[in-house]
């Protein structure tokens, strides 16, 4: 049985990425060959994030070790991308692989990563975003490349952008 972790922080935003994440978690929870651990972080929507995780487990009838942190995701952007601490395995001890999002990855160097990339508009059109956001995404994409992460592209256009850029 594969022991996998996934960052569910995005499920609270009510957007396409949220629906994608919710459906991915639902499918992974239903897969009997995967022992899934859920991880998320939110300051303002912590209760909602916890409720969504509980609802997904109840809906699928599966148990999943769940860690929901009461901190803003920006804190982990700083901790993970700048200080390289704490590792995700400090709370999800037994995971063998982790699904992250293209804006933040845990610092555990020996942990294989899978990352979903929804689009590369910020990389293609950096003038359309705040420089700090562009910089954060560029650093995150470098981590994915350096760690040889497996990448899921949600569309053919995104796949082509990944190859080109």
Mean pLDDT of 96-107: 92
Q: Report how far residue 112's alpha carbon sits from residue 107's, in angstroms, rounded to the nearest whole number.
A: 11
Tokens (6 digits) for 153 = 């592209």
* Topology of the domain covering 2-164: Rossmann fold (3.40.50)
Mean pLDDT of 107-135: 93
Mean pLDDT of 67-75: 95
pLDDT value at 81 more than 90: no
pLDDT at 102: 81
The pTM (predicted TM-score) of the whole model is 0.93
CB 116 within 8 A of CB 20: yes
pLDDT at 86: 96
Host H or E run for residue 157: helix 156-164
Q: Report how far residue 64's alpha carbon sits from residue 78's, in angstroms, rounded to the nearest whole number.
A: 27
* Domain boundary assignment for the chain: 2-164
- pLDDT band at residue 126 using 50, 70 and 90 as cut-offs: very high
pLDDT at 95: 98
Mean pLDDT of 68-96: 94
- pLDDT band at residue 136 using 50, 70 and 90 as cut-offs: confident
CB neighbours of 72 closer than 8 A, spacing ≥ 6?
A: 41, 42, 43, 44
Tokens (6 digits) for 148 = 């040889």
Measure Cα distances from 109 to 18, 131, 137 in Å: 27, 27, 19
Mean pLDDT of 8-23: 95
pLDDT value at 165 more than 90: no
CB 17 within 8 A of CB 10: yes
Q: Closest Cα to residue 141, out of 113, 157, 29, 93?
A: 113
């Amino acid at each position: 049985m594969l022991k996998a972790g996934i960052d569910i922080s995005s499920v609270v935003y009510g957007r396409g990425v949220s629906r994608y994440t919710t459906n991915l978690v639902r499918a992974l929870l239903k897969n009997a060959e995967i022992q899934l651990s859920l991880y998320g972080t939110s300051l303002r929507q912590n209760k909602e994030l916890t409720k969504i995780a509980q609802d997904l487990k109840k809906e699928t009838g599966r148990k999943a070790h769940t860690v929901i942190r009461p901190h803003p995701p920006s804190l982990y952007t700083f901790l993970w991308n700048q200080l390289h601490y704490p590792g995700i395995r400090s709370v999800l001890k037994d995971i063998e692989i982790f699904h992250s999002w293209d804006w933040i990855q845990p610092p555990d160097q020996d942990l294989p990563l899978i990352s979903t990339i929804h689009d590369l508009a910020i990389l293609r059109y950096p003038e359309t975003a705040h420089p700090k956001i562009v910089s954060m995404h560029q650093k995150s994409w470098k981590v994915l490349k350096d760690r040889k992460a497996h990448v899921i592209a949600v569309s053919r256009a995104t796949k082509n952008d990944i190859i080109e850029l």
